[in-house]
Structure 1
Amino acid sequence: MKVRQWSRDLGLGLRFAFAGGREGWFRVLLTAVGVGLGVALLLLTTAIPNALDVRHQRDEARLDYTYDQTHRPKGADTLVISDIDGSYHGADLRGRLVEPEGPRAPLAPGLSRYPAPGEMVVSPALRRLLDSGDGKLLRERLPYRVVGTIGEPGLIGSQELAYYAGAKGLASHINGWQTARIKEFGRPQASGSSSEGLDPVLFLLVLVVFVVLLMPVGVFIAAAVRFGGERRDRRLAALRLVGSDSRMTRRIAAGEALAGSLVGLVFGTVFFLLGRHLAGSAEVLGISVFPSYLNPSPALAVLVALAVPAAAVLVTLFAMRGVVIEPLGVVRTAKPARRRLWWRLLLPLGGLAMLAPMIGQGADNGDFNEYLVVGGVLLLLVGVTALLPWVVEAVVARLNSGGVAWQLAVRRLQLSSGSAARMVNGIAVAVAGAVALQMLFTGIEGDYTKATGKDVNKTQMQVQLQPGDALGPAAAKFAATKGVRKVTALGGFQVGDGSFNTEEGPKVQTSVTVADCASLRTVATLTSCHDGDTFVARGGDKEMDAQAAQLTKPGRKIFFNTTRGNVDGPDFRWSVPGGLRQVRAVADVNGNVSPGFLMTPAAVPHRMKSLISGQVYLSLDESVPDVHEYVRNTAARVDPMSDTQMWAATERSDKFTSIRTGLLVGAACVLALIGLSLLVSQLEQLRERKKLLSALVAFGTRRRTLSLSVLWQTTIPIALGLALALAVGLTLGAVLLKMVNATVGIDWASVLTMTGIGAAVVLVVTLLSLPPLVRLMRPEGLRTE
């Protein structure tokens, strides 16, 4: 019986929503837009796991393992491939040189054939870049003719910059780390998966990120189903007049909200499909996807489709508990009863109680309990939405004196503080979560960041040349490059007391450093130096000095390392000449002190010159625009297979960086939702007050005064909401830091930045709502048909 009554009343509410004329349709539209924006983001969230999985599968399918140490013979089914990855203006550039050695050479995903030498196939994004004015410097670096496009199966994102260029003679460069001979693409089954699970701290970070990003979405959906609540309640009063009781009235109201949520599901699906289509042309923080990646999990999509209408009904029933709808009006128009504080405090206290057992656990005591983590963070953030209406009501009740605009704003807030709090609830939750996450990221960043030991004040870039590249001419080309201040070119190889081509290898080894006199002075103290000189450097640790002393005795026969990657060369022995000058080794540009032989280019045996591996260290004038691109272009001219690296004082864990990037991408989407939903909410509130605004203008109130009053009505709740969000966010952040056993500290610059971003979103929304406000402030708004 009750089920039949509920279905009848909900159905009646659905009919009222769609048969209520222009007012009813407009309210349904407002609700649908608000709910639809939230649903679109929820669908996007459910699609993210699939998108990440597809990106991973695509990346795995094209793996070429150029660092494989297995030596393979040339055959009809082999391909020689070189990894020449780089970057351009901060964007990653995936590059490969390819040389098929037979008709059955494995074909890379996304290709129909391999380009011939001097040709290349490129990704669509790289083709657009090369055709644009921004790609001028990159075109100089890639002197190949574009003959095709890489298909979607060969790319991990729509904006990925990638190319395959044809080459010849690659087999002579096989070295086991950059160039290899392969028979297939993809991860070999024998190697298994190289990925490792997240440690407990990173797992906690992922959990908190998901809760913090999704919580504002739920808050906005809950607020959207209450759009137009005051007008709806006045309509429901008429139903009481014709005989419906209070429970039936609430169920009819829930039916109206259900109608808006159902239309919102349709809108959300449309918004998601539009966003899915646009995702193919967007890139956020270096991450891009193809539209086909964004397929929501069917189970999660069904969950969203069921949860949103159910939430609409429950939120409406809960909200109407404090509204008395009588046949002759709505009691809410009188001064509402004061809100109670005690039960609102139970929510954040309950959240702290759930998180408390894990304080001090750190990364050494197993995984964090995901249910307690999610529950505790949820209760703390829900506590913001519960406490904010009480805070707004308590503060505005004490605000009185002021100008006309101030008094209009304060009086409006005193009469409907709940509506004002609902509008800023989402932004407050988002800021509270962002502050807590920022504290957690800052607190554990040191555990996932380590110093490289590189002095970036002296050297900013390093170029690794291929064995055999002439150091002198290469150094001269870099010295002539625009923006390069100083060039230090150092080559080297190893020598030992036995052959490097045997399994046991030499027992005693030392290094040979090859450079001109100016560069040798960066690794040792030289009084005089001329091309053709050879020195013996001492000054490393005792063991290294002892090995160098054994191998630098005059007349000693030593072996040069003639191996190149996994290819062995014939042994080459050299007799140490007498009369070598002893010099003192000093710390080089990498901070290392290396005893051994120091040779100028003319002193190196001719047979060994093709085996010298060179490193070029560059000091740059970074005020020169595009100086890094000029260096990369020079490196490509010296040798297309040279490897250019930017120096950094620290390096960060890839997993930590990925989680942080995911947070920033998600936060950007949530902020966009916040802005759009706030704008819809603001327009709905202005529409509710259309006649009031028109009446005030008709009585002579200046439009400037009314505009200022609307600004105050937004500013006061958002200021209170941000203050509450700051308090809850700092508390949650401190608890999370205690959980991971990290020192509690506050990076006030980051915290205030997060708070400022939230305030800026509200300010932009308020400014965008001013033109509709001006149109509503007309005496003609009093006209009633």
Structure 2
Amino acid sequence: MTPRGGRRPRGRSRAWGWAHDLALGVRFAVTGGREGWTRALLTATGVGLGVALLLLTTALPNALEVRHQREEARTDITFNNEPIAEADDTLIVADVGTDFRDDTVRGRALEPEGPRAPLPPGLEEFPAVGEMVVSPALRELLESDSGALLRERLPDRITGTIAESGLIGAHELAFYRGAEGLAAHLEPSRIVRIDHFGAQRGPVDSDPVLVLLILVVFVVLLMPVAVFIAAAVRFGGERRDRRLAALRLVGADGGMTRRTAAGEAMAGAVLGLVLGAGFFLIGRQLAGTAKVYRISVFPSYLDPSPLLALLVGVTVPAAAVLVTLFALRGVAIEPLGVVRTAKPTRRRLWWRLLLPVAGLAMLYPMIGQGRGNGDFNQYLVTGGVVLLLVGVTALLPWIVETVVARLGAGSVSWQLAVRRLQLSSGTAARMVNGIAVAVAGAIALQMLFAGVDDDYTQSTGRDVTWAQMEVVLPSEVALAPAAGKLRDTEGVKAAHAFSEGYLGDRAMTPDLVTMMTVGDCTALREIAELPSCGDGDVFAVRGAEWDAGADVGKLVEPGRKLYLDPAYERVAGLAVPWTVPRGVKAATPRDGLLPGIDRGGFLVTPKAMPAALAPALTGHTYLRLDESLPDVRERVRNTAVAIDPLAQPLDWAATERQGRFDTIRTGLFVGAACVLALIGASLLVSQLEQLRERRKLLSSLVAFGTRRRTLSLSVLWQTAVPIALGLVLASVVGLTLGTVLLKMTGTPVAVDWAGVLLMTGIGAAVVLVVTLASLPPLLRLMRPEGLRTE
């Protein structure tokens, strides 16, 4: 202890004095008896939850990189596979993946052509025909009752399990099956011959808007974590102030007492680092059993970057010291007490407004830049968003103090709550700061995602009222019987079958290309207006959108030789010749029903199609489903695979979203789920700490006859008033930030009020659940025994 007056012996530096005072605070934290340990554990728990999420965040880059490497290592089918000759080191791979309900099942059929054929990552040997090797998650699904329909589609005997090196996630559904006769079906997009696995992906062009989305997502997800850590190190503030007054009584000066308090907070933060590391290790193991928005990882993926982990380890204790010193800057700690019970000085507004104004000033230079004027400045974006969100934490205490000072009469529970808020509005604001920051960021992101969604969502041109599924059949499969089986599948209302191919004016690199569609008259009338139709007729459709660049009139000349499935560059086609017959009738297209375009070119009835054309045509059956029947799509997929293992069932959708945009959106949902879990846990810890602080007061009120129902309602009011104010402020800041971000991307500003209400509702629901969860401890504290003291 330093002598009275705070003077230190000569020869000792200022740094030594800081170290001595901080160490004294650490001693108080660890030797303060049960009270001290309880306070330290509460602080450590709050800090630890935040640290665990920060460590998880630092591990995400490595997890994404490992997933990327695993995906690259097993890459087999690409759209630029070079044709290679059969050899003893080649393997034919067919994409036989499928969908099961909302999950994608990655599947490959393998046919080794020699003893040195490359083995896929995760396999020890090739499965034989009739056998398959599956991922652990797929094995579990196939063996469960819920996987019965999928088991019909994958009847092969399971002989092994794919190792972790061949999977990108613990819950990935994947299989390899043995096959034969694949060489006759080679096609560049689905069945290829390879001599190695793995492909180096080329550089991906950066999209400034996607980079902006990633930056904002990370800032919005991490800011609530930082706010909660800052709030956690201030647990036990009132009891700490009484201890500081005792220090002043034995001779410590004001600076020393503040540094001692900072040391006590630092001890809790360091203990929080230990707990956070433990929470992270537990969560890391649980990650192997979790699946969030269809994303899963192996625990080994979640290795934090050593540099980032070190940064967290240094920053958290340092932040605990700085936050404590900042919190005590306006507190007069005297030997006989802390001057905080008197009427506090009103909070100043001007400097609190500077934070969001500065944030807007940093973002302003990029307004209107869009994606056409280069990348957004990452430092200005990050700094601007951080300052705007920090502005929420700065403004909320002032708003709460100002509003509760004007609240007046009401029920007893209301008066108890209002009086408590008037005495400690700062504590109430700290409890909901994290929620307010999270909601503000969520509203801004929701506006940004909704605003740019159209840029990354494209119409497929498919009429999903006409058909909901399509089944593509290999050329050797007879179309009519296959269509009959699909039509007879339970839940299928109608099936329209066509054989389709492309015609060119030359066998190699044609200049004019159009389509040939073969079907009966009933089917052809679905895609074109026909004057009259009988089996043996041929029609030419003019004016179709797809044929806008082709002079169909020249192609329709009788006797002209066209080539079905012509060859393009390196991709070899069959180039089957077809002579245009006489008597071709004219037809007009119907608006696009089939994929993406209205159907043009030649429409041919079955009797008019020469048998030589069959190998160059692909069968397509378009199905209208009874969507009210459960698992109707699974039944269709089962029928398709029963017709031919290489049949390809496809789901129809009116729109499709760009993959990278969808990945960022999914990452946001996963991160938001983690942050919401942290918010709930941290709020509960904070609420319990507040109740512990007021234990004697609650016991006194009960002892004097106050009803427990009244006290419970007062606690609810104490939470409801600050959260209501916080959500209003979060909505204003979120709408402002969302508007600025939309203007930065050059997107028209529009507010999805339903989304705003959803975000605020989620925030309010989390607080309500936490408050209800804290009622049982509250009832236990409201006992006269709580007046007992040691």
TM-score by length of structure 2 reads: 0.95
2:199 corresponds, among 187, 197, 208, to 187
How far has the Cα of 1:607 moved from its partner? 2.8
Q: Write the distance in 1 (CA, Å) between the matches of 2:691 and 2:243.
A: 19
Could you tell me which of 514, 523, 543 is aligned with 2:527? 523
Specify every segment of 5 or more residues in structure 1 that has no aligned partner in the other structure, as ranges: none
Mapping for residues 467-616 of structure 1, pairs under 5 Å: 467-498=475-506, 500=507, 504-506=508-510, 508-526=512-530, 528-540=532-544, 547-561=551-565, 572-587=576-591, 589-590=593-594, 592-616=597-621
C-alpha separation in 2, matches of 1:567 and 1:538? 29
Which of 36, 49, 52 is residue 37 of structure 1 equivalent to?
49
Match of 1:171 in 2: 183
> What amino acid maps onto 1:173 in structure 2?
H
Matches of 2:393 and 2:565 in 1, distance apart? 69
Contact preservation (8 Å) 1:67, 1:176: yes
Any stretches of 5+ residues in structure 2 without a counterpart?
1-12
Give the conservation status (yes or no) of the 8 Å contact 1:539–1:586. no
The amino acid that maps onto 1:9 is D
Query: Would the alpha carbon gap of residues 195 and 751 (structure 1) be closer, same or farther in structure 2, given more than 3 Å must change?
Result: farther
552 and 770 in structure 1: CA distance in 2 versus 1, 3 angstrom threshold? same
Change (3 A) 1:542 1:565: closer
Q: How does the TM-score come out when normalised to structure 1?
A: 0.96
Give 1:287's match in structure 2, choosing from 287, 292, 295: 295
Q: What code does the residue aligned with 1:523 have?
A: I
Q: In the alignment, which residue of structure 2 is the partner of 1:737?
A: 742
Query: Is the Cα–Cα contact under 8 Å of residues 489 and 515 in structure 1 kept in the other structure?
Result: yes
Inter-CA distance 569–41: structure 2 relative to 1 (3 Å threshold): closer
Aligned residue in 1 for 2:382 = 374
- Answering whether residue 712 of structure 2 is matched by residue 704 of structure 1, we say no
**Residue 631, structure 1, aligned to residue 643, structure 2:** no
- 8 Å CA contact retained: 1:325, 1:331: yes
Post-superposition offset of 1:608: 2.5
Q: Which residue of 2 aligns with 1:773?
A: 778
Of 139, 142, 161, 2:151 maps to 139
Q: Does the alignment pair 1:85 with 2:93?
A: no
Q: Per the alignment, in what secondary structure is the counterpart of residue 329 of structure 2?
A: helix
What is the CA–CA distance in structure 2 between the aligned matches of 1:542 and 1:660, rounded to whole Å? 33
Of the three residues 652, 657, 660, the one matched with 1:655 is 660
Give yes or no for the alignment of 1:276 onto 2:284: yes
| Counterpart Cα distance in 2 of 1:75 and 1:439 | 56
Distance 1:362 1:494, change over 3 A: closer
For 1:644, which of 639, 642, 649 is the aligned residue?
Answer: 649
Q: 1:546, 1:10 → 2: CA distance?
A: 82
Question: Does the CA contact (< 8 Å) of 2:538 and 2:583 recur in 1?
Answer: no
Range that drifts further, 451-460 or 42-51 = 451-460
2:770 aligned with 1:758, yes or no?
no
Displaced runs of 4 or more, over 6 A: 541-546, 562-567
Q: How does 1:101-112 map to 2 (within 5 A)?
A: 101-112=113-124
* Pairwise CA distance, 1:638: 1.9
Give the Cα separation in 2 of the matches to 1:206 and 1:669. Answer: 17
- Matches for 1:209-220 after TM superposition, within 5 Å: 209-220=217-228
Q: Does 1:9 align with 2:9?
A: no
Give SS of 2:92's match. strand
Query: Structure 1 residues 516 and 245 mapped into 2: Cα distance closer, same or farther (>3 Å)?
Result: same
Amino acid at match of 1:136: A
- Cα displacement (A) at 1:453: 1.8
CA distance in 2: counterparts of 1:435 and 1:543, whole angstroms: 45
Deviation of the 1:609 alpha carbon: 2.0
- Matched with 1:685 is 690
Counterpart residue number, 1:722:
727
Q: Pick from 408, 426, 429 the counterpart of residue 400 of structure 1.
A: 408
Q: Comparing 367-376 with 390-399, which one deviates more in the overlay?
A: 367-376
Q: Summarize the alignment of residues 213-362 of structure 1 with structure 2, pairs less than 5 Å apart.
A: 213-362=221-370
Residues 274-305 of structure 1: per-residue CA shift (max 9 Å, x gap): 00000001111111110000000000000000
Task: Identify the range of structure 1 (233-242 vs 38-47) with the bigger mean alpha-carbon deviation.
Answer: 233-242
Residues 619-649 of structure 1 deviation map (CA, whole Å, 9 limit, x = unaligned): 1111111111112112211222222222222
- Report the AA paired with residue 525 of structure 2: R
SS at match of 1:617: strand
In the TM superposition, 1:20-59 aligns within 5 A as 20-59=32-71
- For structure 1, which segment, 572-581 or 153-162, has the greater mean C-alpha deviation from structure 2 after superposition? 572-581
The AA in structure 2 aligned to 1:74 is E
What is the distance in 2 between the residues matched to 1:370 and 1:508?
48
Range that drifts further, 647-656 or 63-72: 63-72
Superposed CA deviations along residues 237-284 of structure 1, whole A, max 9, x for unmatched, are 222211111111111111111110111000000000000000001111
Two-structure CA RMSD over aligned residues (Å): 2.0
In the alignment, which residue of structure 2 is the partner of 1:433? Answer: 441
**Which deviates the most, 429-438 or 448-457?**
448-457
Equivalent position amino acid for 1:293 in 2: Y
Q: Does 1:100 align with 2:104?
A: no
CA deviation profile, 1:464-513 (whole Å, cap 9, x unmatched): 22222211111111111121111111112234454x2xxx4555554321
- In 2, Cα distance between equivalents of 1:164 and 1:564: 31
**Contact 1:512 1:599 survives alignment (8 Å):** yes
Percent sequence identity is 65
Structure 2 vs 1, CA of residues 471 and 226 (structure 1 numbering), >3 Å: closer, same or farther? same
What's the secondary structure of 1:641's corresponding residue? Answer: coil
Q: Distance in 1 between matches of 2:520 and 2:170?
A: 46
Amino acid at match of 1:273: L
The answer as to whether partners of 1:497 and 1:559 remain within 8 angstroms in 2 is: yes
The count of corresponding residues between Structure 1 and Structure 2 is 777
Can you list the C-alpha shifts for 1:420-479, whole angstroms capped at 9, x where unaligned? 000001101111111111111111112222222221222211222222221111111111
Separation (CA, whole Å) in 1 of partners of 2:684 and 2:18: 34
